[in-house]
Every structure is written in C-alpha cells, then in structure tokens.
Amino acid sequence: MVAWIAVGMLGLINGSFLNAVIHRLPRGISLLNPKRSFCPGCGKTIPWHENLPVASWVLLRGCCSGCAMPIAIRYPLVELLTAGLYLLAWERFGLPLAPVFWLFLSLLVAATFIDFDHLIIPDEITKGGVVAGLVCSLLVPQMMGVPIWWQGLLLSLIGASLGFFLLWGVVELGKLAFGRRKIRTNQPTPLEITGTDAEPLLIFGQESIPLADLFYREKDRVEASCAWLEIDGERLQGIEAESLILNPSGVTYGSRFWAYEGISELMPLRTEVTSIMLPREAMGFGDVKFLACIGAFLGWKGVLFSLFAGSIVGALIGVAMMAATRGRSGGRIPFGPYLALGALLWVFVGPEFIDLYANWVTGGGFFLLLRHPSL
C-alpha cells in the first residue's frame, strides 16, 4: 500500500511538471526561468499551496486567485492521467523496469498534448527521447527482453533506426505523390500576406495559414497567378497574368523581390489570384523523429505495432470527423497522438494482443515472430 501511494503521488507530481513542459516548451519558455509556475493571464507567481496537483484546481474552482482567469480542466486531467499510467506500469513491470517506462510514458503524454495544441513535437522530446531510450536500454537491457547490455543497446538502435527510416520513407514518397495542391477559382479571389516579421500569415479567401506551415523544406514555394499586386505602398500592374512566388525567404513578382520584413498588418501584400499552387507534406518531420524515440524504448516490434495501431485509430477518427463535419473538417490532423496511443497499447497489451491475433489468424507465423522473447 505504501508503494502504491508513493507511485501515485510521484505520478501526480510529475504530471504537474508535464503541464509546465506542455505550456512552456513549444513557446520557447525555459523550464528553469522562471523557476516557479505562473499564471499566463496576469503573470502572478503561483505559491506552493496553490500548486498542489489536482487538489489546488478543485479548491480554486478552476480559476486563478489573482485574476480569476479560468484554469483549463486539462491541467488536473494530465496529472491524473500521468498518475494512472505510472500505477499501471508499476503493476505490470515493477522494479527495475517501471522507472524506465515512467520516463517513456511521460514523453508520450507531453508529446501528445503539445502536438494537439501546436501541431509540433519539439526536438527536446523526440531527439532527447532517442538518447534517453538508448541510455536506458544500456543500463536496463531487460526493457528489450534481453539480459546483456550490448544486446539491449543494439535492439534499441535497431528500433530507433527502423522508426526513423520507416516514416522518413513515407514522408518522401508522400511528397512525391501529393506534394502540391493546385486550386483554381471561378473568379479572382483575394490573397493577402500580413502578420508580423516573425509570423507572417497567408490569407486566401476565408483561409488563414501561417507561412511557416507551408515551408517545411527550403525548396518549397507557393505559386499564384495574378494580374496586379499591391506591396510596400505601390501597385504593380502586369500586362498579363504574372506569377507571384512565395518561398521561405520572401516574395517574387515578375523581376521584383521583397523579403518578408516590412510586410505587416499596416503594410500588407494584397492581390487577387485565379489559381494557386500550395506545397504540402504527408506528415510533419516531427512524427518521423517521434517514431524513432518510440523505437529506442520499445525496439522494432514496438515500432511496427505503434505505427500499425496508430494508423488504424487515426484513420477511424479521421473518417468519423469527416462524417460528422460532412467533409468540411479542413486543416492538419496531428499524427503524433495516435503514434503515442499505439505505443501505449504495445506497452500494456501489445504482446497479449499479438498472441490472440496469432491464434486467430491461420498461419500467423509473422505475429508469432513478433512475440518471440529472443527477438
């Protein structure tokens, strides 16, 4: 009972820390400065008695004591989720494996909520997770199902490499097959670039897209056909439809070039286009590194299971969303949370699922291979 209480408390405390990671990391805020938690609304430093996991949220009725700004219910949910996962790992693995999986599960929780909010998975989680997985497999090779350190490290390297190159291949093939989206309009449609130097926005009709979301690669560019252009206080008129080209460094129209610096809400770029070509990716490169992180902790079997299970769940949810919105659910869908769910299923029920499936499928030799303890 003492051990269970201690593990549950550790999960709640680490869940509180993960809330800080989820809020700060994608915004570029240091986890060490400021050292104490603060209200994002009024900036008030939160005293310790208002920062108790779950309990403080309940006692404060979900509001900041300084400015009464609502505190999202996600904060106590992340703390409870982390505690629950820690307890499940303790029940299933015990020592010495449970602490390793506590670290891995924390990475999954942080990556999931950051990807939902910002459609990114920071390198601190993905690359840092790969390093952590390699170190853990070296120190605790039992996590890979082997007793010797070099065998654990080798299986971790194989898993990380497979995870990386498997999704990297998907990204590259997807770029070749679906890397450009052309939109033709029945009549000239307004196009505008506005925002700030740090975060310029492309506004096309009713759609607003951060330019950073369009340029994943240096060679990516947006091409549009337009007969005139207003920029930097002057109007340029083409004799015929000219090509407006946007690339990661700036804007080209005819023989003229402008950097994004200076294009702002007060001095936006405006035009009307009859067609536009937008670059697109099959998935973000953060997902590639995230699957490598999963492979470093779970090995090649965990990579294949996580990718398969995550793809199935993601496809089902995507179809359900399209049905609910009648195909109007546009925008990017994060894949990282589904990879995390697949990895979570492998940690807790994966081997048992493989056994059931191998018994159900005639000639399930491949699935029995996945379950073989020496591989």
Q: Which contiguous run of DSSP H or E holds residue 145?
A: none
One-letter amino acid for residue 250 of the chain? G
Average pLDDT, the chain: 86
Record the pTM: 0.82
% residues pLDDT > 90 (the chain): 42
At 191, list the tokens: 């196009």
Give the C-alpha separation, 18 to 82, whole Å: 9
Residue-wise pLDDT tens digits, 190-220: 988 887 766 788 888 777 888 877 888 888 8
Q: Which of 115, 24, 93 is nearest to 341 (CA)?
A: 115
Give the C-alpha separation, 245 to 299, whole Å: 44
Are the C-beta atoms of 113 and 100 separated by less than 8 Å?
no
At 366 the pLDDT is 53
Pairing between β-strand 269-279 and β-strand 256-259 as defined by DSSP bridges: unpaired
Are the C-beta atoms of 16 and 31 separated by less than 8 Å?
no
At 1 the pLDDT is 87
222: three-class secondary structure by DSSP: strand
Give the C-alpha separation, 144 to 153, whole Å: 9
Give the C-alpha separation, 129 to 114, whole Å: 15
At 309 the pLDDT is 92
Residue of 90 and 60 predicted with greater confidence: 90
Residue-wise pLDDT tens digits, 238-285: 655 568 888 888 888 878 888 887 777 667 888 988 888 888 777 778
Are the C-beta atoms of 271 and 191 separated by less than 8 Å?
yes
Residue-wise pLDDT tens digits, 277-328: 888 777 778 899 999 999 999 999 999 999 999 999 988 888 888 777 765 5
At 253 the pLDDT is 86
**Cis peptide bond prior to 34, omega within 30° of 0:** yes
At 373 the pLDDT is 52
Residue-wise pLDDT tens digits, 140-183: 999 998 999 999 999 999 999 999 999 999 888 887 777 788 88
* Matching residue, tokens 């052309």: 182
**Cis peptide bond prior to 96, omega within 30° of 0:** yes
At 372 the pLDDT is 56
Domain boundaries, the chain: 1-88, 95-179+285-375, 180-279
